[in-house]
Structure 1
Amino acid sequence: MVPRDDSLQSISIQLDAKNYAYWSYVMKNFLQTMWGIVIGDKKKPTDEKAANYETLLDSWETDNSKIITWINNSVIQSIGTQLAKYDMAKEVWDHLARLYTQSNFAKQYQLEFDIQAIQQNNLSVQEFYAAMSDLWDQLALIEPDVLKAFKPYIDRREEQRLVQFLMALRSDFEGLRGSILHRTPLPTVDSVVHELIDEETRIKSHADKAPKTFTPAVFFVSQRPQSSNQNRPRVAFDECAFYKKKNH
């Protein structure tokens, strides 16, 4: 990938201290034609007696500035503020490498932990898939090359990803999830995501069309207490037809 001429063009990924392996992979490809400056192989010209010294110096400084700008555009602000003290791209790159390079096992542990912990919650299917894919891609970067070329391992990894993805879905998709788990052969994650998006749309449409229910207000009428006034006049009743007595 050839770096763009527009130095304000941002990279598609931002370094956030947890994704250094993937970020460095993207940046290495983006800075391929200038990589000698990043690692220090192409040093700043110092021979002022050289015939084309001014041209070489101007070219190096321009490329060095572009690299620093691109790196700053591809990190979160809290990391970018740490880089202001450096004037050379190599110093910037080395600083980030010292801070965020982990052993493969430590990185694997962190990524496996994050994959097990992540849940869909309020994310849409597409948003959740993007979050999971980011973790899977970072984990794939530290896999041994021999495994990446071994088809049984790749097939097993795809099944594992499917299980991880289905386990973290909301209960809204329980019916479809059960159906997917009993299919032979198992579908790919990509095809499952397509089905889940359709199901998500159906559920949302059904919810929008459902009649709204209202709970009627309930009114309570309190009973007035009976008066304890014993002097209240009594009401006279007619004479009883059977006993010939009044008030009976």
Structure 2
Amino acid sequence: MNSQSSSHDLLSTKLDGSNFSLWEFHFGIFVQGKGLFGWLDGSASLPTDEKELDRWNLNNAKVIVWMLNSVHANIVMGLRPFSSASEIWLHLRNVYQQSNLAQEFEVERNIVEYTQGDKNVCSFYAVLQLLWSEQDKISGRNMSTAGLKEMLGERQRTRMVQFLMKLRLEFKSIRGSLLNREVTPALDVVLAAMLLEETRLGTQATIESIPLSVVALLAQKSTIDTSSRNAKRNVQCYECNDFGHIAANCPK
């Protein structure tokens, strides 16, 4: 099986009717990466040449297959009347795209309610990034490129604070240290610090879980090894009166 025919397996988001904005973003980028976005938005017009038409139909079928595999089964049945990828794309947008205000409300609610829970720092941050990217997409629909860039710059500080406040209580100490810096650290700097702290806490927890009897045994072994080395250094050779070797190994 070639890479294009199985590419739908790589899509991480499935349309379930409530997540159109996120699905549209992921699926659009995916098809762009395959060089077939024209079949999705309708800009790849139907050719008249027979050979070109065969190629067009093949690419159209590829995009439809990817689309069918990226939506839930209850949505697939409603797509049977359509014969082109662009028709399906337009239909899904008309049916499932919510108003900007409703989408914004849902995304903001998800960001507010989302916390680290039992996830590690890396997994927690990855989901938070997805929520932020959806927030940016909604906010940037009616913005110029320059305006969107300025808005994203202003959001970095807010998102750094959001990230810190949603972490578990065990990160309280380093969180306070980062927030009290004279210069506000960048989000990637904060993430790196939290990953290091997570490693340190994991190592500390492992050490603390070792039974005291094992710790005592290791300490006793270390003491015996040290005493043995010292004893060897204190052996005096009767041939040369030097310390550290015996007569049998005397260099003289």
Give the structure-2-normalised TM-score. Answer: 0.70
Give the paired residue count.
203
Q: Map residues 39-118 of structure 1 onto 2, 5 A cutoff.
A: 39-44=41-46, 52-53=49-50, 55-80=51-76, 82-84=78-80, 86-118=82-114
Compared with structure 1, are the counterparts of its residues 213 and 76 closer, same or farther at alpha carbon in structure 2 (3 Å cutoff)?
farther
2:170 is aligned with what amino acid? D
Letter in 2 for 1:28: G
Q: Secondary structure at the match of 2:117?
A: coil
Residue 156 of structure 1 corresponds to 154
> Which of 1 and 2 has greater Rg?
1
Deviations 1:68-92 (Å, cap 9, x if unpaired)?
Answer: 1122333355544554554321232
Q: 1:82 to 1:195 in 2, by over 3 A?
A: farther
Distance, in Å, in 2 between the alignment partners of 1:121 and 1:78 is 32
Change (3 A) 1:13 1:80: farther
Q: What amino acid is aligned across from residue 71 of structure 2 in structure 1?
A: V
Distance 1:202 1:18, change over 3 A: farther
Partner of 2:37: 35
How much has 1:44 moved relative to structure 2?
4.4
2:118 is aligned, of 102, 116, 122, to 122
Unaligned runs of 5+ in 2: 213-252
Identity %: 31
- Give the one of 173, 193, 196 matched to 1:195: 193
C-alpha contact 1:19 1:138 (8 A) present in aligned 2: no
Per the alignment, residue 13 of structure 1 pairs with 12
Specify every segment of 5 or more residues in structure 1 that has no aligned partner in the other structure, as ranges.
215-248
| Offset from partner CA, 1:154-188 (integer Å, 9 cap, x none) | 33200110111111111010111111111121112
1:147 aligns with 2:147: yes
Which structure has more relative contact order (CA 8 Å, sep 6+)? It is 1
1:54-80, Cα deviation, whole Å (9 max, x unpaired): x23312210110101122333355544
**In 1, distance between residues paired with 2:56 and 2:132?**
37
The 2-side partners of 1:99 and 1:119 are apart by 31
Contact 2:13/2:22 (CA < 8 Å) preserved in 1? Answer: no
